[in-house]
């Protein structure tokens, strides 16, 4: 795992990372576990999740697989329950589950491509899942005076991304982050990150992102999952006076 130089000491802490089989979620689960936390990892792909958990366990890390499609509220509640049972409570919830549900970006003018079924799936996985998970775990996190971090997107602030539906769902998640911070204060802090380019196996292809990053990002590279994980873990374990914020992390893409 690549990453920065910040070290965390999280022995005795317990975390749940959704969308944990790959990309930012996988990197976050690994950093939490390498820092001493016990981590429950969720993903809707059972095979990918089992493979990720197996690799991290082989490295001596304490991780648990808790599969389930969080686009269903009942499954989300069950994932929350199983995770707390296995970990004996919870300190950190990382709502990272998300998906574009399209292999190619949908232009904003193409309204016909945004069917009711597409909207429903986008909103359930990219927005409502974070609410359902938070609702199910609110009392547990209040008891531990824990923290929540939501993975939003830079598309929430300027449009774009894989589709208008995705950008809208992520804008809703930014708003939900603020409202949950108000509702769960002062016991639980709730923040978010808004990633730009990410070097991961994202379902939707944006072409040559390396070239795009070199021409439009101040740091002239695509962000690695570990770059984002570092900020997520800091917002969980540190940042004691930070709540209700959604922090862009883009390498200077929009400066």
Give the pTM.
0.96
Q: Specify whether 92 is catalytic.
A: no
Determine the Cα–Cα distance for residues 164 and 177; give it in Å rounded to an integer: 20
Residue of 166, 228, 234, 241 with catalytic role: 166
| Domains annotated on the chain, with CATH | 14-249 (3.40.50.720)
Q: Would you say how long the chain is, in residues? A: 255
| Residue given tokens 């022995």 in the structure block | 11
Per-residue pLDDT of the chain (255 residues), as tens digits, is 445 668 899 999 999 999 999 999 999 999 999 999 999 999 999 999 999 999 999 999 999 999 999 999 999 999 999 999 999 999 999 999 999 999 899 999 999 999 999 999 999 999 999 999 999 999 999 999 999 999 999 999 987 789 999 999 999 999 999 999 999 999 999 999 999 999 887 777 777 888 988 999 999 999 999 999 999 999 999 999 999 999 999 999 988
Determine the Cα–Cα distance for residues 40 and 156; give it in Å rounded to an integer: 28
**Kind plus residue range of the DSSP H or E element containing 228:** helix 225-237
- As given in the structure block, the two tokens for residue 11 are 């022995």
Determine the Cα–Cα distance for residues 199 and 218; give it in Å rounded to an integer: 16
């Amino acid at each position: 795992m690549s990453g920065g130089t910040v070290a965390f000491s999280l022995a005795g802490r317990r975390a749940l990372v959704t969308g944990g089989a790959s990309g930012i979620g996988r990197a976050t689960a690994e950093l939490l576990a390498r820092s001493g936390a016990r981590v429950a990892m969720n993903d809707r792909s059972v095979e990918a999740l089992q493979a990720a958990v197996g690799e991290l366990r082989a490295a001596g890390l304490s991780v648990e697989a808790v599969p389930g499609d969080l686009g269903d509220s009942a499954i989300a509640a069950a994932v929350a329950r199983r995770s707390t049972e296995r970990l004996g409570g919870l300190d950190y919830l990382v709502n990272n589950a998300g998906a574009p549900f399209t292999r190619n970006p949908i232009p904003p003018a193409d309204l016909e491509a945004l069917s009711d079924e597409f909207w429903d799936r986008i909103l359930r996985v990219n927005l409502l899942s974070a609410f359902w998970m938070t609702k199910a775990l609110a009392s547990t996190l209040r008891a531990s005076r824990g923290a929540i971090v939501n993975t939003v997107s830079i598309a929430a602030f300027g449009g774009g991304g894989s589709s208008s539906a995705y950008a809208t769902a992520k804008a809703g998640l930014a708003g939900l982050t603020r409202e949950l911070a108000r509702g769960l204060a002062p016991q639980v802090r709730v923040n978010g990150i808004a990633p730009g380019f990410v070097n991961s196996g994202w379902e939707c292809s944006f072409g040559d992102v390396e070239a795009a990053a070199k021409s439009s990002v101040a740091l002239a590279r695509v962000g690695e999952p570990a770059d984002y994980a570092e900020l997520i873990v800091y917002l969980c374990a540190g940042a004691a006076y930070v709540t209700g914020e959604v922090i862009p992390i883009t390498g200077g893409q929009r400066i």
